[in-house]
Structure 1
Amino acid sequence: METLRKAQILCDSSQYDLCDSANHIKKSDANLPGIYHTTGLNGCKIPLFKILMTNKCVNDCKYCINQQDRNFTRIELTPEEIAKIFLHYYTNDYVNGLFLSSGISKNIDNTMEKIIDVAKLLRKDYGYNDYIHLKILPGASKDSIKRSMALGDRISINMEAATPDGLNEIASTKNFQKDIVRRFKWIQTLGKRNPKLAPSGITTQLIIGANNESDQEVLGSISSMYKKLGLKRSYFSAFSPVTGTALEKREKCDTQRTNQLYHADALINQYKFDTDELIFNKDGFLSLDEDPKYLAALNRDIFPLEVNQASFKELLRVPGIGLISARKIIDIRKKKRFNNLNQLKSIGVVVKRAEPFIKIEGTHQTALDSFKV
């Protein structure tokens, strides 16, 4: 099989490793396989070359297109082949960076060596100094993790599930505490000792709907990872059944569920909400219809807040006020007080949503019972 055809297959298989919350599971162009976009801090779309080393795998993950028992053609590219394909894309300005993941061909150590070899070729032999994101395989050795962090700007290790029981539901070849949590701890320790290692931090991914975990369990686990293990970002992949896998007859996950998880995750990771501020139903799931921040606000007794006195943390609890507008409120009111809604609107506050939850100079703007979303 020619190299381009192999690359097409391995690039399309890589679509399940997420690098953006908005661009999920889309096959790439047949003529230029592997171009996927992630979103930068300023909102711009950044093209990455995303590919697997191999679709061979010794794991039995019940949801996965590459699981060991599934019958399909298995292929692999060499580190040199991947490096050359990527450099062709990069030198022609098709992409701005590399996202490299892999199935497990012979064993974890052997596969990690090949991942590292790609990065080493690019950095040492070809003088490439731009963005590299490397996947850390669950169960990888501390030495291979350290070398990956030395070569990559960002690394990731997929949790797949939020709890030990949840992982046991979908994979028998991985141990949640030993293969995943322990690796996160190693990564955190290595990063603290040398901040130059993987300076863009570590991300993870969970498969939502492949097991019976609730949103409350997912967000509780992720919140703990942010606080205790230095996790930078989480991605949620909506389970979709794959023919030939153990879960081929399981119901597809509603993507609105993952959308709501992303909203709630932003509240936890960026706005520093505690999970007990979020509203779940009796089964531990978020509403699919209402904004998690709005529901959280309805169940707090701190409103209405006086805009000219509220703390930064309190302002972030107001629907319609984001990180940027909250900072602007704090900065502006040091010089002059706010006295009308138009002033808030001019700095980016979504006034329609914020009105029922705020006061300006002691005046409550809109009664909550007259407010319509």
Structure 2
Amino acid sequence: MNTQEKLDILSADAQYDLSCACGTKNPLEHRKRNDTGDGWLYPTTTASGGAGIILKTLMGNRCANDCKYCPLRAQNDFRPVALSPFEMASFFYEFQLKRPLLGIFLSSAVMGDAEKTMGLLVSTAEILRKHFRYKGYIHVKIIPGASRASIDAALSYASAVSLNIETPGARHFSKLTDRKDYQKDIIDPLAYIGKQTGPGARYKKVHTSSQFIVGASDENDKEILLYGSRMYSELSMGRLYFSAYQSGLGDPSIPGEQRIDPPLSQSMLQPLLFDEETLGKPVRSDGLLVREHRLYQADWLLRRYSFSYEELLFEKDGNLSLEKDPKLVWAEHHPDFFPVSVKRGTKEQLLRVPGIGPTYASRIVKGRRDSAISSLDDLRFPPASLQKARKFLQL
């Protein structure tokens, strides 16, 4: 096979990573899963909050690990394909000269062991930086169990790195794999990455992210968000993602075996719409995907709306409400906080109002300095946002 034929297989295998499932209203930020020849292009969110398209694929798809949520796990039957570092680097460099791309996301199944695979990923990044003089965005996926030396090498070339935490705690993690050690392979490397990229550290400009697999164990949202809030505060984590588990954890008719569902359908790969100002409304009724969406909404409250973990409200089962977004739930449980004055409310107070996000809150604060606001209609919000906010505001 030539490089593009290999990429067709490897990029298709990369589809099982469903991070960024909450897209935006901008179609340019949605995954491209089509027959136009650029199905390996994928949306990403930059450290500054903007979006762009990256080349996202795997270096290889034959994995030595046994993660039960992954169709590429060991013992499964599929066609093994791999690219050499120079093959990957040269293809990407030539490809990005022909069309604008934000950068490349370098990831891989664990081919042999963590160190060997990290060597391939780091070598690809090194070739791009030194041989091709590429100065754009390079995201390097840190392989679970990677040594500190390998992590340092990745940080020296990468714009961003990520290592998936997968579950909130060792008990849940043990249900997904028998080969990986939660503390040694996941938590210790995450802590080291946090030290190397935190404020004042050598690689403080390298963006970091991680991901939870939602629903693969019996974890609840309260556990996920507790771990997530601590990753932000203690590990200097830049961004968290949540990926709904799309395969059964096991088939009762086959004791001890993992049932892998058929490949994801096109409809399952369509992103949920996400509106920053309204914190979105799910467009599907699938419970697990709505749950994923609610976790993204709660994460936005923690990152962008100055909410603390302690302020999040959960159902009796420890999960977020599927019927209402978490910001609306908080507002309905705090009637004493409302209504917020449009003329005197601080930006922080306005951010607590359902339907108002950072953009609209800043617009109100700036606009009332320039001219008098005599009616809520003067705010010129979209009708849906204004309708949601109206009962929580006063002039």
TM-score bin, normalised by smaller chain:
0.7 to 0.9
Measured after TM superposition, the shift of residue 325 of structure 1 is 1.9
Q: What is residue 123 of structure 2 aligned with on the other side?
A: 117
Measured after TM superposition, the shift of residue 247 of structure 1 is 4.4
SS in 1 for 2:68: coil
- Aligned equivalents of 2:61 and 2:36: distance in 1? 18
- Aligned equivalents of 2:60 and 2:144: distance in 1? 16
- Aligned equivalents of 1:196 and 1:28: distance in 2? 41
Measured after TM superposition, the shift of residue 338 of structure 1 is 3.9
Tell whether the 8 Å contact from 2:195 to 2:235 is kept in structure 1 after alignment: no
Tell whether the 8 Å contact from 1:16 to 1:24 is kept in structure 2 after alignment: no
Flag the 1:249–1:4 CA change in 2: closer, same or farther, 3 A. Answer: closer
SS in 1 for 2:322: coil
Cα-to-partner distance string for 1:94-147 (whole Å, 9 max, x where unaligned): 533100101111111111011000000000011111111110111111111111
Q: TM-score, normalised by structure 1?
A: 0.87
Aligned identity (percent) is 34
Matches within 5 A, 1:69-84: 69-84=75-90
Q: Is it true that 1:345 corresponds to 2:380 in the alignment?
A: yes
Measured after TM superposition, the shift of residue 59 of structure 1 is 1.0
Flag the 1:254–1:349 CA change in 2: closer, same or farther, 3 A. Answer: closer
Give RMSD over aligned pairs.
2.8
- Aligned equivalents of 1:329 and 1:117: distance in 2? 50
Matches within 5 A, 1:13-92: 13-18=13-18, 20=20, 21-22=22-23, 27=33, 29=35, 31-39=37-45, 46-92=52-98
Flag the 1:331–1:92 CA change in 2: closer, same or farther, 3 A. Answer: same
SS in 1 for 2:238: strand
Q: What is residue 311 of structure 2 aligned with on the other side?
A: 277
Q: Is it true that 1:7 corresponds to 2:7 in the alignment?
A: yes
Measured after TM superposition, the shift of residue 24 of structure 1 is 7.9
Matches within 5 A, 1:1-373: 1-18=1-18, 20=20, 21-22=22-23, 27=33, 29=35, 31-39=37-45, 46-93=52-99, 95-192=101-198, 197=203, 199-241=205-247, 246-248=258-260, 254-300=288-334, 301-333=336-368, 338-345=373-380, 350-360=385-395
Which runs of 5 or more residues in structure 1 are unaligned? 361-373
- Aligned equivalents of 2:393 and 2:9: distance in 1? 53
Measured after TM superposition, the shift of residue 279 of structure 1 is 2.5
SS in 2 for 1:286: coil
- Aligned equivalents of 1:171 and 1:24: distance in 2? 31
In structure 1, what residue type is equivalent to 2:378?
A: Q
Measured after TM superposition, the shift of residue 201 of structure 1 is 1.1
Q: Which structure's relative contact order is higher, taking Cα pairs within 8 Å and 6+ residues apart?
A: 2
Measured after TM superposition, the shift of residue 198 of structure 1 is 6.7
- Aligned equivalents of 2:146 and 2:30: distance in 1? 26
Q: TM-score, normalised by structure 2?
A: 0.82
